[in-house]
């Protein structure tokens, strides 16, 4: 996993004073900006290995299908012998990933795919996704787990 550590200042409840170069009354925390919301949930025991693997497969298919923002020029080789890609060229691999992604999202269902896409593919935090969907606070984790169960079944992850 990549690490991109950054210091973030937490808002303090009490008054702040500057003592030399330090600010008292404030706290900071080190965060990994490269950590996805799902890896955060998995690392803290909120997602089991099966659901985390399903989310990683879904995101990999999303990225292989080039469904996110991309540049206009492709520099891929047409075919590479022995690369384990089943003899598919770049376009065929992209189409196969798109078909898998669409199948996984259909398996999740229309009511569950919204938060699944936002958190797994869009890398939004759960609170942000809940706010954007106008859902009650702390409801997203339950719905996300239901969606990931269906996606794990789709990918046949045991």
Residues 16 and 73 in one domain: no
Where does the pLDDT of residue 32 fall: very low under 50, low under 70, confident under 90, or very high at 90 and above? low
Residue 6 phi/psi, 5-degree rounding, is -145, 145
Residues 28 and 65 in one domain: no
Give the closest residue to 120 by CA, choosing from 53, 41, 56. Answer: 56
Distance CA 90, CA 111 (A): 32
Residues 73 and 142 in one domain: yes
Terminal-to-terminal C-alpha distance of the chain: 23
Residues 104 and 146 in one domain: yes
Residue numbers of the domain that contains 55: 36-154
Residues 49 and 127 in one domain: yes
Q: Which of 1-5, 16-20, 30-34, 35-39 is the least confident region? A: 16-20
Residues 72 and 14 in one domain: no
Residues 47 and 108 in one domain: yes
Residues 139 and 149 in one domain: yes
Domain total of the chain: 2
pLDDT at position 90:
77
pLDDT at 14 over 50: no
Residues 63 and 26 in one domain: no
Whether the model pTM is above 0.75: no
Residues 10 and 69 in one domain: no
Helix ranges (H only) for 65-139 are: 90-108, 113-116, 126-132
Residues 9 and 76 in one domain: no
Residues 9 and 87 in one domain: no
Over residues 58-86, the pLDDT tens digits come to 999 998 888 876 666 666 555 555 545 56
* Number of C-beta neighbours around residue 8 at 10 A: 10
Determine the 3-state secondary structure of 27 from DSSP: strand
Distance CA 156, CA 80 (A): 28
């Amino acid at each position: 996993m990549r690490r991109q550590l950054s210091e973030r200042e937490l808002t303090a409840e009490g008054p702040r004073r500057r003592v030399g170069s330090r600010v008292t009354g404030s706290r900071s925390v080190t965060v990994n900006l490269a950590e996805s919301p799902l890896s955060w949930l998995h690392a803290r025991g909120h997602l089991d290995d099966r659901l985390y693997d399903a989310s990683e497969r879904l995101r990999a298919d999303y990225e292989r299908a080039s469904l996110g923002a991309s540049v206009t020029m492709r520099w891929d080789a047409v075919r590479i012998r022995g690369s384990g890609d089943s003899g598919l060229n770049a376009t065929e691999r992209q189409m196969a990933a798109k078909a898998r992604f669409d199948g996984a999202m259909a398996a999740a269902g229309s009511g569950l795919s919204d938060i699944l896409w936002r958190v797994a593919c869009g890398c939004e935090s759960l609170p942000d996704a809940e706010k954007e969907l106008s859902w009650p606070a702390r409801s997203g984790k339950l719905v996300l787990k239901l969606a990931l169960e269906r996606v794990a079944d789709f990918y046949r992850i045991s």
